[in-house]
Amino acid sequence: MKNRLFSIVVLLTLAALFLAACGSAPSADSAPAAESATEAAVKEPAAEAASIKVLASTTFLADIAQNVAGDRVVVESLLPFGADPHSYQAAPTDVAKIAESNLLILNGVEYEHFIETLLENAGGERVIVESATGIEPRQMEEEHAEEDHSPEAHSKEVCEQLEGKTAEEEIQTGADAASAVELHGEDEHAEGEHAHEREIVTLKLNAQADGTFAGYVLLDSEEEQGYAVTSAAGEIVVTDAAGATLEAGQILTIDCEGMTVGGVYKLPVGEYVVAVTGVDSESVVFSAAPMHAHEHEEGEEGHEGHSHEAGDPHMWLDPNLVITYVGNIRDGLIEADPDGAETYNANAEAYIAQLTDLDKWIVEQVDTVPAERRLLVTNHEAVGYFADRYGFEVVGAVIPSLSTEATTSAKEMAELIEQIKATGAPAIFLGEVENADLANQIADETGVKVVDTLQLETLTDGEPAATYIEMMKYNVTQIVEGLK
Ligand SMILES: [Zn+2]
């Protein structure tokens, strides 16, 4: 009896010890199974693990964040391996995942087009990190490539607008700024048509003390944009309502339809005085109208949607920019779990060292490609930051958009084919998640090869791109091989 009681006491004591040891871990299932109770009691308390739930929008962000989080917390990815964030359709379980999270890590720059609705439905509060915060997004060059904004192009445009027109209307100008007259008659103003068509008028000027002639007219800017103002002779001076002289944004070299001088002035909404001075005769042919009035009517931005305004989200394809990601993620982790600050700081530092090594490795690889062959054609505009960093020229994209969720026109396809032929770009690169049909068509016409196995937007479950660093090495290897 006595012996038995002793055994029970011993057992209870052991049980208490065991519970005490386990109790220092946050939860039973997060304690490593192999670790015995005794070891756990001897080691630093397993308070290493934090109780926050961290969710990253997509796989490569989850991996980057996991490197910073270390052993303290497991970072999960909202999107599965192989999903293209550009075209992602939220799954029914996504709302719950977000609702449970204490920290949500996004890329930002509108990469997660699906997130707003999910956040609304999830409700609650959490720390949200946009990893790209602090990086100035590239704007897509393609859109403006077709539109030449040089003074020469503007001069040409003005001449085209004026072609065949003659100055039928004659306007008696004011003798000074105070007496400046409306450039356009009240009737036309009411119809609102004058702003869209370039007109030529004859300005009747006023004699000046020095024997030259000058005149002052009023110009109404109804919308902030560039106004091209031209005259057959003299000098053009534009002043705002406060009397301040405005610099021409561009000096135009006009030599058509009798015009010789001109400039493009960016005029915020308001009234401006345009003076034409130093003319030898008492009248001068003159014109003033907005540039590119057609832009607002045709909706040319349609094919690239909202991503145009936000800019290029693909910063992760330059590891140097991922260093900024790491800083933002580290700060978010510390905000959500201040006790882990020391760990997060140390992990971030270690991972940044790996990113720096990765950058050096990429430079070495790219060095093996002759400079004149560093030409990139991609399916969508994904490699701008990568190209900037490693000295590639982006020849073009099959889909001239920052998103895979866009289309291309026959004209754009034809232009790309020309560019490929002109530059000798040897390959078209695209991600495995992209549709290769158009790229294959272009390859048929140009004879270039298609490398359609890159991992630009997602990691793979295991090889070849199980981590962000492996993903970059895998992509660079294929690009280098494809260009040699
Ligand atoms: Zn993309």
For residue range 219-261, what is the model confidence (pLDDT) as tens digits? 888 877 788 899 999 999 999 988 889 888 888 878 888 888 9
Structural domain spans, the chain: 2-39, 54-138+318-352, 151-291, 365-483
Q: Is the dihedral of CA 37, 39, 41, 46 positive or negative?
A: negative
Query: Over 60: is that where the pLDDT of 296 sits?
Result: no
Residue 23 CA, ligand 1 centroid: distance in Å: 46
Q: CB–CB of 414/423 below 8 Å?
A: no
Query: Over 90: is that where the pLDDT of 96 sits?
Result: yes
Confidence at residue 345, expressed as pLDDT on a 0 to 100 scale:
98
Residue 401 CA, ligand 1 centroid: distance in Å: 9
Residue 381 CA, ligand 1 centroid: distance in Å: 7
Residue 428 CA, ligand 1 centroid: distance in Å: 15
Q: Which residue matches tokens 């208490």? A: 16
Helix (H) or strand (E) holding 377: strand 375-380
Beta strands in 160-316 (DSSP E): 169-172, 181-182, 201-204, 206-207, 213-221, 225-231, 235-239, 245-246, 250-252, 261-267, 270-279, 283-290
Residue 79 CA, ligand 1 centroid: distance in Å: 15
Binned at pLDDT 50, 70 and 90, residue 66 comes out as very high
Backbone phi, psi, residue 111, to 5°:
-65, -40
Cβ neighbours around 350 below 10 Å, total: 12
Residue 431 CA, ligand 1 centroid: distance in Å: 9
Residue 236: name the closest of 196, 183, 190 by CA: 183
Residue 458 CA, ligand 1 centroid: distance in Å: 10
Residue 434 CA, ligand 1 centroid: distance in Å: 9
User: How do beta strands 270-279 and 213-221 pair?
Assistant: antiparallel
Residue 406 CA, ligand 1 centroid: distance in Å: 11
How far apart CA 23 and CA 29 sit, in angstroms, is: 12
Backbone phi, psi, residue 27, to 5°:
-155, 150
Q: Per mean pLDDT, which range of 81-85, 168-172, 289-293, 358-362 is the poorest?
A: 289-293
Domain 54-138+318-352 belongs to what architecture? 3-Layer(aba) Sandwich (3.40)
Query: Over 60: is that where the pLDDT of 173 sits?
Result: yes
- Domain 54-138+318-352 identical in fold to domain 365-483: yes
Question: Which letter, b or e, does each residue of 236-245 get, where b requires 16 or more Cβ atoms within 10 Å of its Cβ?
Answer: bbbbeeeeee
Distances from the Cα of 417 to the Cαs of 141, 190, 422, 476, 482, in angstroms? 18, 48, 9, 24, 18
Confidence at residue 247, expressed as pLDDT on a 0 to 100 scale:
86
Confidence at residue 299, expressed as pLDDT on a 0 to 100 scale:
38
Q: CB–CB of 75/326 below 8 Å?
A: no
Residue 86 CA, ligand 1 centroid: distance in Å: 6
Residue 92 CA, ligand 1 centroid: distance in Å: 24
Distance of CA 135 to the CA centre of its chain: 10
Tokens at residue 482, please? 């494809």
Provide mean pLDDT across the span 87-101.
96
Residue 405 CA, ligand 1 centroid: distance in Å: 9
Q: CB–CB of 129/106 below 8 Å?
A: yes
Confidence at residue 481, expressed as pLDDT on a 0 to 100 scale:
97
If one compares 255 and 276, the residue with the highest pLDDT of the two is: 276
Residue 414 CA, ligand 1 centroid: distance in Å: 22
Residue 85 CA, ligand 1 centroid: distance in Å: 8
| pTM score of the predicted model | 0.61
If one compares 298 and 57, the residue with the highest pLDDT of the two is: 57
The strands making up 225-231's β-sheet, listed across from edge to edge, are 169-172, 201-204, 283-290, 225-231, 261-267, 250-252
Residue 394 CA, ligand 1 centroid: distance in Å: 15
Provide mean pLDDT across the span 314-337.
98
Backbone phi, psi, residue 126, to 5°:
-160, 160
Residue 313 CA, ligand 1 centroid: distance in Å: 7
Cβ neighbours around 133 below 10 Å, total: 15
Mean pLDDT of the chain: 85
CATH number, domain 151-291: 2.60.120
Residue 261 CA, ligand 1 centroid: distance in Å: 46
The alpha helices in 337-409, defined as continuous H runs, are 341-367, 384-390
Residue 235 CA, ligand 1 centroid: distance in Å: 50
Binned at pLDDT 50, 70 and 90, residue 147 comes out as low
Confidence at residue 34, expressed as pLDDT on a 0 to 100 scale:
42
How far apart CA 316 and CA 319 sit, in angstroms, is: 6
Residue 380 CA, ligand 1 centroid: distance in Å: 7
How far apart CA 284 and CA 172 sit, in angstroms, is: 11
Residue 376 CA, ligand 1 centroid: distance in Å: 15
Question: Which letter, b or e, does each residue of 407-419 get, where b requires 16 or more Cβ atoms within 10 Å of its Cβ?
Answer: ebeeebbebbbee
Residue 185 CA, ligand 1 centroid: distance in Å: 51
Residue 312 CA, ligand 1 centroid: distance in Å: 9
Provide mean pLDDT across the span 416-422.
96
How far apart CA 105 and CA 127 sit, in angstroms, is: 8
Provide mean pLDDT across the span 146-166.
78
Binned at pLDDT 50, 70 and 90, residue 267 comes out as confident
Multiple choice CATH, 365-483, 3.40.50.1980, 3.40.50.920, 3.10.20.30, 3.20.20.140: 3.40.50.1980
Binned at pLDDT 50, 70 and 90, residue 424 comes out as very high
Residue 452 CA, ligand 1 centroid: distance in Å: 14
